[in-house]
Every structure is written in structure tokens, then in C-alpha cells.
Amino acid sequence: MSDRSSELFARACACIPGGVNSPVRACHNVDSEPLFIREAHGSHIVDADGRDYVDFVLSWGPMLLGHDEPTVTRAIREAAARGTSYGAPCAAEVELAEAVIDAMPSLESTRMVNSGTEATMSALRLARGITKRNKVLKFIGCYHGHADPFLAAAGSGVATFSIPGTPGVPEAVVRDTLLAPYNDLEAVKAAFEAHGDDIAAVIVEPVAANMGLVLPKEGFLEGLRDCTRNHGALLIFDEVITGFRAAFGGAQARFGIDPDLTTFGKVIGGGLPVGAFGGKTTYMDHVAPKGEVYQAGTLSGNPLAMAAGLATLRLLKMKDYDALEAKTRAFATQMRDILASQGVPVHVPTIASMFCIFFSENPVMNFADAQACDHDLFTSFYKQMREQGIFMAPSGFETGMVSFAHCDNDFEKALDAARKVRF
């Protein structure tokens, strides 16, 4: 049997670092080579050899409606025929901004960018500009894109200065990044006691979905809200994954928290490159040209990406999120029971249309717990599921995604495959 993916990967490795344009895709973690994808429709993707898979990656989150959703695809096609970028304002930017503000309880004003990374780096610059402070507190194992200040390594103690997590990030930059374990309010309080008058912002994934899936403990997000407010720091919700997924109104609607700034990506663009940051007008008025904090983008708000985002949000607004959550929960529960019956330690946390398979004796509450999972078991599971036509994220530190296009057959196929896995 020919293997187009292997052929393409060999060629890719000669002209792209590691053969991929984003590292986790390389499948190193699971001792595999990437599948090259030819096309995707609904809940399914097809690889370069024509093999079909049920997709639980969904481009790492954006495709909440499924791939090639007809209304979204039509909107993109029609927009493309009118030109793809003007470098001048267009109506679709206003409409998307209005739609995002309408959906998100805390938002009064928003600026479009081209990725989640741009959104978080811009939100942090804004928080620093407003507060005239330098430091940011982030949580170990949370991911906020690849901008320098967020690439601080785990491992140093709470409220101690961190070290760069990657070569190329100057120590001077991450010196201002404070780290705390997820779900650890005491560590946050200690950081504020030590550095409170220089902390510009706390940034958090309100549901942590980049160390596997870790839910916030009761009171954790409320505690962050109180702590930041008491110390004059801004609370930034990074809703790049949870926005329009944890609920249509994001995690902020789901948990009833009022963050100062919020960042978006993934679902907001319906599969095209869109990010956004926003918040109260009093904060957003500091952004240029209204204010003094500079931020810009040649392709920001381009009509093609806006059309995809707008069509996506308009459809999502009418969807039954509760029904999708119930389906996802039923799937996760069955998956856990099947794997547990095979004698492996397993936890399958789930919320909204997200789930994650942790091979662990104990529930995972933070990054250290996630690291302590049995990643060899995950690798074995991943490979056997893929051989049976189930496409999962190629790492135990990622979150499984379900779309409105997933049907009972898709879940059954995945559960059947899990029944056949041998550890």
C-alpha cells in the first residue's frame, strides 16, 4: 500500500523545520509520523491516501461546527469573490465585533487580530500600558501562544523569577513572568504579597485545555477576580479555546466571572486566522489610535476571515450547547468505563464539548499531575485508535474536541475502537 503521508513527510522534512508548521503536529510525543490531510467534511477528515477518520482534533478547536459547514463555506466563497483584503475598514469587521460583544458578557469593545498569540500578547501590552506595571502572573501548564513573555518554564517556585522555557527568549523578558500552579490560590496570594504593586495582570485559561483538560476548582476563578481587583491588577481570561465553546458566551458566561480583558482565537474565525482581544471600553480606549498603546495588523479584520467568523458565530448562536455537552459527557463516561475495564488507571474529565483521557490513578488538578500520567499508555492508545480510524490529538497534554457535526455513529465507532485497544 502506498503511503502518501510518509512520502509527503519526507519531502516536508527537507524544506520545513521538522516537516511541520506547528510543532505538536509532528506526532513526536506519540512516537508516530503525522498524517497529511487531503480534505475534511463534518466530523471526518481524510488523509492523503484516502483513509477516513473520525476527527476529535478539529484543527485544535476552531471547527466547532464541523469541517466544511455549508453556510460557512458559502460565506467564504462569496467573500473571496469580493476581494480578500482591503487595508481599509469594511462592514464585516463591525458586524463581527458586534456579534462577539453581544455574546460575551464582559465585552464592550474589541480589536481583531490574526491569531490567539497576537491576541494574548496585545492584551498583555495593554494591561501593562494601563497599569504602568511590568509583571504578569501565569499558571504553569497554561498556554497563551508563543509570544516571549508567556514562554516561561515551569519548575521554579511560586513567585520566584522564572527561567526561559525556550532558547531565544531573553531572560530579561521572562523575569517579569511569575508562575503559579493551576488551581492554587494560595500561591497567587503569595505572589501578590511579594510583588503586588508591580503585577499588571493575571492571565488564565478559565478551563485549562493545554495540559490535557483541567477544570478550575470551585472558587479558583472567583479568587483570581478578588485578588486582582484588590491589588489593582487586571484579570485576563484567555478564552482562545473556551470562547464560544465552554458556552456560547465563553467561560465567563458559564462561571459568571467578569474579567477585565479577554482574548479569543480558534472558534472565532471558523477555521480562518482570526483572533481578538477585548474588554471594557475604559480599558480598550487605551488602544491606538484612540489611546497610546500601539497595536496594528496588515491583514487584521480582512473581509474573508471576518465572513468565516461571522457565519460561524451566527450559526453557533442557534445551536443547542446543552445537548452537545450531554452527548460529550455520555461519550466520555463510556470511554472511561471501557478503558477502566481493561485494567488501566484512567480519568476522563469533560466539560462542554471537550474531554481528555488521562492515564492516571488520581484526578489531574494541575500540570504536575498531568506530567505524572502514564504517557506510554497514551501513546499506545493513540496509535491503536488511529489505526482504527479515530483521529485524536497526538499528545497526552491536549484536549479532545467534539463538534456539532458529530453523530451517534462517530461516538460508537470511537468506543468500539477503544474496546479493541490492547495495553
Ligand X SMILES: *Cc1c(COP(=O)(O)O)cnc(C)c1O
* Strand (E) or helix (H) holding 334: helix 321-340
For residue 330, the minimal CB distance to ligand X (Å) is: 25
Task: Give the residue with the Cβ less far from ligand X, 164 or 271.
Answer: 271
Q: State how far the Cα of 177 lies from the Cα of 225, in Å rounded to an integer.
A: 19
Task: Give the residue with the Cβ less far from ligand X, 42 or 61.
Answer: 61
Task: Give the residue with the Cβ less far from ligand X, 183 or 210.
Answer: 210
Calculated CA dihedral for residues 180, 186, 190, 195, nearest 10 degrees:
60
Task: Give the residue with the Cβ less far from ligand X, 47 or 398.
Answer: 398
115 is an interface residue for ligand X by CB under 6 A: yes
For residue 119, the minimal CB distance to ligand X (Å) is: 7
Q: Supply the residues annotated as catalytic.
A: 143, 238, 266
Helices (H), 134-232: 171-174, 185-195, 220-231
238 is an interface residue for ligand X by CB under 6 A: yes
Give, as ranges, the residues between 272 and 291 that touch ligand X (CB under 6 A). 275
Q: State how far the Cα of 35 lies from the Cα of 47, in Å rounded to an integer.
A: 6
For residue 364, the minimal CB distance to ligand X (Å) is: 17
Task: Give the residue with the Cβ less far from ligand X, 89 or 168.
Answer: 168
Q: State how far the Cα of 336 lies from the Cα of 358, in Å rounded to an integer.
A: 10
177 is an interface residue for ligand X by CB under 6 A: no
205 is an interface residue for ligand X by CB under 6 A: yes
For residue 115, the minimal CB distance to ligand X (Å) is: 4
For residue 152, the minimal CB distance to ligand X (Å) is: 14
- DSSP string of 204-222, one letter each residue: E-SSB-SSS-BPPPTTHHH
Which three cell numbers mark 413? 465507532
265 is an interface residue for ligand X by CB under 6 A: yes
Q: State how far the Cα of 388 lies from the Cα of 386, in Å rounded to an integer.
A: 5
For residue 241, the minimal CB distance to ligand X (Å) is: 4
Contact 307, 92 (CB under 8 A): yes
In this chain, which stretch among 46-54, 109-117, 162-170, 376-384 interacts with ligand X, using CB under 6 A? 109-117
Task: Give the residue with the Cβ less far from ligand X, 53 or 143.
Answer: 143
Please state whether 270 falls in left (phi above 0), alpha (psi between -120 and 50) or beta.
left
Helices (H) then strands (E): counts for the chain: 14, 14
Task: Give the residue with the Cβ less far from ligand X, 127 or 377.
Answer: 127
For residue 19, the minimal CB distance to ligand X (Å) is: 18
In this chain, which stretch among 139-147, 246-254, 333-341, 389-397 interacts with ligand X, using CB under 6 A? 139-147
Q: State how far the Cα of 404 lies from the Cα of 399, in Å rounded to an integer.
A: 17
- Number of chain residues interacting with ligand X (CB under 6 A): 14
Q: In what order do the strands lie in the sheet with 234-238?
A: 109-113, 275-279, 261-264, 234-238, 199-204, 135-140, 177-181
Contact 26, 19 (CB under 8 A): yes
241 is an interface residue for ligand X by CB under 6 A: yes
In this chain, which stretch among 26-34, 141-149, 190-198, 324-332 interacts with ligand X, using CB under 6 A? 141-149
Q: Which of 117, 162, 177, 300 binds ligand X (CB under 6 A)?
A: 117
Q: Which of 143, 237, 355, 391 binds ligand X (CB under 6 A)?
A: 143
Q: State how far the Cα of 274 lies from the Cα of 297, in Å rounded to an integer.
A: 11
β-strands 135-140, 177-181 pairing: parallel
Whole-number CA gyration radius for the chain: 21
Q: Which of 174, 240, 268, 316 binds ligand X (CB under 6 A)?
A: 240
In this chain, which stretch among 32-40, 112-120, 327-335, 390-398 interacts with ligand X, using CB under 6 A? 112-120
26 is an interface residue for ligand X by CB under 6 A: no
145 is an interface residue for ligand X by CB under 6 A: yes
Task: Give the residue with the Cβ less far from ligand X, 241 or 418.
Answer: 241
Which positions ≥6 away from 185 have C-beta within 8 Å?
219, 220, 223, 224, 227
Q: Which of 144, 245, 347, 386 binds ligand X (CB under 6 A)?
A: 144
The residue number with the shortest CB distance to ligand X is: 116
Closest CA to 267 of 104, 29, 48: 104
210 is an interface residue for ligand X by CB under 6 A: yes
Which three cell numbers mark 276? 481578538
Neighbours of 20 (CB within 10 A): 16
Footprint of ligand X (CB under 6 A):
115-117, 120, 143-145, 205, 210, 238, 240-241, 265, 275
